[in-house]
Chains A and B, each alone.
Chain A
């Protein structure tokens, strides 16, 4: 054992806080090293001198308690922390562990539910639009008056259908159908514009919408625009419904123009309803 190491540990030796093995090694060194032995002696003597000087206890002045309590009472009243308000038993490890496990279970359940729930994509609406075009009779309900079409379709679904007139934009309302895409009930409104068929899919805005529409629920003044192949989509959120306009081989800016007017009229009709 080297002197530096021994000197570092001398106070632990004097306090009796070394392991027996360390103790015997340190004593072995001190027996051979006069410098370390002298230091050990000095440290022990100084410690003894301090202990002796401090043997007579000091008493706090009688005024201390009154001063402390006056200072504490002068502090602004405080609200106990949330932790302090919790019952004591809740801080015990077994309850904390149980709480953590319950949280994990809940998170797992939510993740499992979100994964197992059907995932509605815009492309599926594109496929549905194409299927309806190919069907012998595209519209289940043939009606060109928006209000009457609303009434007929709204009675078949659990959300308010909002068909609007786009005559001023050159699009004529043909009718509408109730349909289900990937377990999501919705209606498809059919318009004809310059020889093209346009569908507006409407679905319950309080349920799970196509992924792009999730963002729009927090920013209702925005639109989601996408073009895949010759299919174009414009999606928006209006009141209690989610809407997706789909068309094939229609220029994107034209479809967007129609969608903006459709959304505007929906808002107007909702205002009227109030």
Chain B
């Protein structure tokens, strides 16, 4: 049976080395963290690795967490920054100079994700491919705003940028998504 303690107290106790409290945090946030990783990574295989990396970083960083501040936004920021770093590292590994380019290649070259095939239709796959082709900062902004339903104020706080920058990233992300989706549809028609 899960604990009823607030996240902030669990985080503080987990920072002191209590693994059962960390496990409770893992159980509360596994779905949300995985979802963000999945949308940022663009495939299930990387998503699991990225989610694991996020939780390991969380465990290491808990000693720096101030329990007077709400836990969820702090965690979201950590997860979001970890995903950005992992996406950049993946791009660097593939030797691509331009961020986002490597994801296009990866999505095109990988076999269709069984999860996507079974649970989502063609439309979902198209949208996810278009999202995966965005540069990591734009993908991050769209994922958190639309996928996690953060308000723009929350998004700005999570990204650590001014409100206008957060809004600009979401706008640019949506515009690029529309262009890519239109391009993909016109190729299918041909």
Binding site for B on A (CB under 8 A): 7-12, 15, 17, 42-43, 45-47, 49-54, 56-61, 63-65, 67-69, 71-73, 75, 77-78, 80-81, 83-85, 88, 91-92
Contact = CB atoms under 8 A, between A and B. Distances in A.
A8 B164 contact: yes
B105 interface: no
Contact of B26 (A17, A68, A78): A68
B177 A50 contact: yes
B174 A46 contact: yes
B119 A56 contact: yes
B70 interface: no
B35 A84 contact: no
B115 interface: yes
A80 B15 contact: yes
B171 A53 contact: no
Interface residues of B, number: 57
A139 B22 CA distance: 79
B26 A65 contact: yes
B146 A51 contact: yes
Given A12-B152, A75-B60, A80-B17, A64 B30 contact: yes
The dominant DSSP class at the B interface is: helix
The dominant DSSP class at the A interface is: helix
Given A11-B170, A68-B56, A46 B177 contact: yes
Interface in B106-161: 115, 119-120, 123-124, 126-128, 131, 142, 145-147, 151-153
Interface of B: 12, 15-17, 19, 22-23, 26-27, 30-31, 33-35, 38-39, 44, 47-48, 51-52, 55-56, 59-60, 63-64, 66-68, 115, 119-120, 123-124, 126-128, 131, 142, 145-147, 151-153, 163-164, 167-168, 170-171, 174-175, 177-178, 181
A54 B147 contact: yes
Nearest to A45: B178
A12 B167 CA distance: 7
A60 B34 CA distance: 6
Given A69-B19, A88-B12, A60 B152 contact: no
Contact of B115 (A45, A58, A73): A58
A49 B12 contact: no
